[in-house]
Amino acid sequence: MKEIGTFEQWLEIKVNEPQLVLFVKTENCSVCEGLYPQVDALRSDYTIPFFKVNIAKVPEMAGQLSLFTAPVVLLFHEGREMSRFARFVQMEELKYRLDELMERREGHE
């Protein structure tokens, strides 16, 4: 999973990637550490790019994306947030939404 290090990098990614998954974590977050490997494992099943950000290192993103907790998994399509999963993520629901995102992608290719 590629790491986002600056707000400017995030803005560039959001413009250049038609679809993406964003995993948001913070410092000293045991739930984040437990969820990350599960979300990261999904990369092998989907062609959508996956990114991660430590919100403590890029705090501008917290305000811009209205993030009040961590972890958060966000799905974007054409620069717009399509789904948001916060704190305790239901993996089956996340997979369902990723499948929907893939269908949208295939509909535009």
List, run by run, the mean pLDDT of 10-residue segments along the chain (109 residues).
96 95 96 96 95 96 91 95 92 94 72
Q: Which amino acid is at 39?
A: V
The predicted pLDDT at position 106 comes to 67
- Distance, in Å, from the CA atom of 13 to the CA atom of 79, rounded to the nearest integer, reads 9
Write down the domain spans for the chain: 2-108
The predicted pLDDT at position 88 comes to 85
CATH superfamily of 2-108: Glutaredoxin (3.40.30.10)
Strand partners, 32: none
Q: How far are the Cα atoms of 35, 44, 86 from residue 67, in angstroms, in the given order?
A: 17, 27, 9
The predicted pLDDT at position 22 comes to 98
The predicted pLDDT at position 81 comes to 94
The predicted pLDDT at position 9 comes to 97
Q: Which residue has the tokens 């209205």?
A: 66
User: The whole model's pTM is what?
Assistant: 0.92
The predicted pLDDT at position 107 comes to 61
